[in-house]
Structure formats: structure tokens, C-alpha cells
Homo-oligomer: A and B are copies of this chain.
Amino acid sequence: MEFREVVRRRRMVRSFTDTPVPGEAVDRMMEHATRAPSAGFSQGWAFLVLDTPTDVARFWSATSPDPQADNAWLRGMRTAPVIIVPFAQKDAYLDRYAEPDKGWSDRDEARWVAPYWYVDTGMASLLILQTAVDEGLGACFFGIPVSRVEAFRAEFGVPGDHAPLGAIAIGHPAATPKQGSVTRRGRREVTEVVHRGQWRS
């Protein structure tokens, strides 16, 4: 698909059909995710791929604050046959920038203008969302409740130095109306967020 078409079509999909996601599509998502840029080429990211009904069910059990919870969002999201959890590994960045060619002699976080471990894994996550569109699939990026992160780590054996960014649900989109905050809030105009030459308030 043309790049512009991928950009235009990408939206959050929150309900899926039971058509399976081909393994090659997931492989392509991972190939593309690892082509994201990263500060100092640190590549401090990792991805947990859950693509069996059992593993997806384990994800929802581990991350749901209330196992009895039942709402439209959850019912839709639980139909996704694939979940990918992207992680940011800050230590990889602090280590990388303490190497001789970067010239910082310590791992002080105050040197960082922005937490590139989150920025770069965000870019990798967008590549997963875009690749889903390019493969004729739909996807939704969503948060994991802070209160469930430890249970999620325990369930899947995730080490403490890898911070989950959220999770991405992937599948064939069910025909549903547009929903979510995008409909209620509307997009900010380009002229509102772009400043040329000088900030104007």
C-alpha cells in the first residue's frame, strides 16, 4: 500500500473478526519495528508476542484489575487474536551513552533532553500499527493499568529493567462505527500546533 494511504487509513480498531492473523504478517511487524530509529542506535527495546488463544487469555487475566469486569471496550478488545507488548529498556541507553564514542563518562539521566527509551519504542510501536494497516489488518494501542504491571511481569517472566509501554491488539477489523476519543474530541488543526520561525501564543 502507498505510504500516504497507510497514514490516512490508520485508526484505532477496537473489535475484531475471528479470522486468524497470518504468522508472516506478525513477522513483518517485528521486522519493521526493529527498523525504528533509536538514539545512538541503542535499540533498547523488546517485544512480547502473544498469538495463541491461551497466551492472549493469560494477558487479559494478568492485566485486568477486575476479573469479572464486562464492558463494551473489553468485549471488543478480547476478540483480538494477537497482542504485542512493546518494552523500553532505559539501561541500554544509559550504557550506550557511557561508551567512548559518545563521550559521557557516567550514566546520569540529567543529561537527557527527553527519555529516548520511551520515544524510540513509541516509534517502533507506530511501525507495528502502520504495518497492520499495510497488511489489511487493524490494531489498537492501549495502556496497561499501573496496578497490574507486577502481575503482568510475573505471568510472563518480564525482567524489571524492561518497562511496558502499553499493548497493541491486532486482528481483522470487525465492521464497527468510528468510536473513541477521536470522534468525541476532533483533531487539532495543523495551524494550531505548528509555529513558524517563532512561537506565537
- Which residues in A have some Cβ–Cβ distance to B below 8 Å? 1-8, 10, 12, 27, 30-32, 34-37, 39-41, 43, 45-52, 55, 88, 101, 110-116, 118-123, 125-127, 129-131, 134, 141, 143-146, 149, 156-159, 163-166, 180-182, 184-185, 187-188, 190, 193-201
The chain B residue with its CB closest to the CB of A28 is B4
7 A-B pairs with the lowest CB-CB distances in the bound complex, closest first: A119-B122, A41-B181, A122-B122, A157-B199, A123-B126, A3-B6, A3-B3
Contact A201 B113 (CB under 8 A): no
Residues of B within 8 A of A185 (CB): 41
Provide the bound-state CA to CA distance between A194 and B121, in Å.
Answer: 13
The chain B residue with its CB closest to the CB of A152 is B113
Contact flag A55-B197 (CB < 8 Å), given A37-B129, A113-B143: yes
Contact A163 B114 (CB under 8 A): yes
Contact A190 B149 (CB under 8 A): no
The chain B residue with its CB closest to the CB of A52 is B197
Contact A149 B10 (CB under 8 A): no
* Other 15 A-B pairs with CB < 8 A, given A41-B184, A49-B195, A112-B146: A30-B193, A34-B193, A41-B180, A49-B194, A49-B197, A51-B196, A110-B146, A111-B146, A113-B145, A113-B149, A113-B165, A113-B166, A114-B143, A118-B122, A157-B198
Report copies per complex.
2
Contact A158 B88 (CB under 8 A): no
Name the distance in Å between A16's Cβ and chain B's nearest Cβ. Answer: 18
Provide the bound-state CA to CA distance between A114 and B164, in Å.
Answer: 8
Contact B7 A50 (CB under 8 A): no
Contact flag A199-B156 (CB < 8 Å), given A36-B126, A119-B165, A149-B113: yes
The chain B residue with its CB closest to the CB of A84 is B194
